[in-house]
Structure 1
C-alpha cells in the first residue's frame, strides 16, 4: 500500500481529485486597415509541410548574413617592419660609406692646409729675420778691424 510510485511518492497519497479547466476563447483582435503597397515590395509567401502533415504558411525571412571577416595579411606587421628596416639600413649603408670617405678626405685636406700655412708663414718669418733691408737700428761691428788679444775684444 505504501509502495513508491515512479515519481517517488507513496501510492496512498494519490486520492486527490483532478480538476480540468478549459480556457475561455479570446475576443477577436481588431485588424488594422490595409495600406496599399507597391507590387515589388511584397515579400514572398513560403509554405512548409511538417512531418505530421500540417502545413505552415508565412512570409520568408531572409537569414542574417554574417559580417565579412577581415582578411589577415599573410605576414605579420612585425616581420614587415623588420624587413623594411633592413632594406632602409641597406640603402643608408652606401651613404654612410660615402660619408666616412668624405670625412676622411676633408680631414686630409685640412691637414694639408695646416702644413701649407706652416710652410708659408715659416718662410715669411725666415725672410723677415734674414733680410738686411729691414734692419735699421743697432751697432754695426766691422770684424776685420777688430783686435782680439787673450780672449778680449778691442774694437
Structure 2
C-alpha cells in the first residue's frame, strides 16, 4: 500500500493547514420583484459524507440553432430566372416574327390590289367605245377567209 494512503505521512513532507477565511456578507440589496416564471428552481443534493449542497438547477445549454437554409438553392433560382427571361425573349421574338409575317401578307395584298386596279383601268381604256378620238376604228361586218387572204 502507498504511504499516502496508510494514514501516516512521510517525515519529509510538511503538512500545511489552511484555515478557512470567514465570508463577510455584503449589505443586503433591496429586493426587486421578479416574475414567477423567471426564478430558477433550487435543488439540494446530499453528498455521501452527509453534507447538503443547495444551489440553482442548471438548465442544459441549448445549442445555437443552425442557420436555416433556404428550401431552394441560389443556383436553382438563377436558372429559373434565366429561363423566365429566355421565355420572355422568345415570346418577343415570336411576336416579332408574327408581325413580320403579317406585314409581308399586307404588302402582298396591296400589290395584288394595285394590279387589279391598274388592270381594270387598262381594260376600261381598251374596251371603252367612246372617250377619245385618236386612232383608227375599223368596223368589220362580214369577213371571209380564203387561203390566208382576207376579203372584206
* TM-score grouping bracket, smaller chain normalisation: 0.3 to 0.5
TM-score normalised according to structure 2 size: 0.45
TM-score normalised according to structure 1 size: 0.44
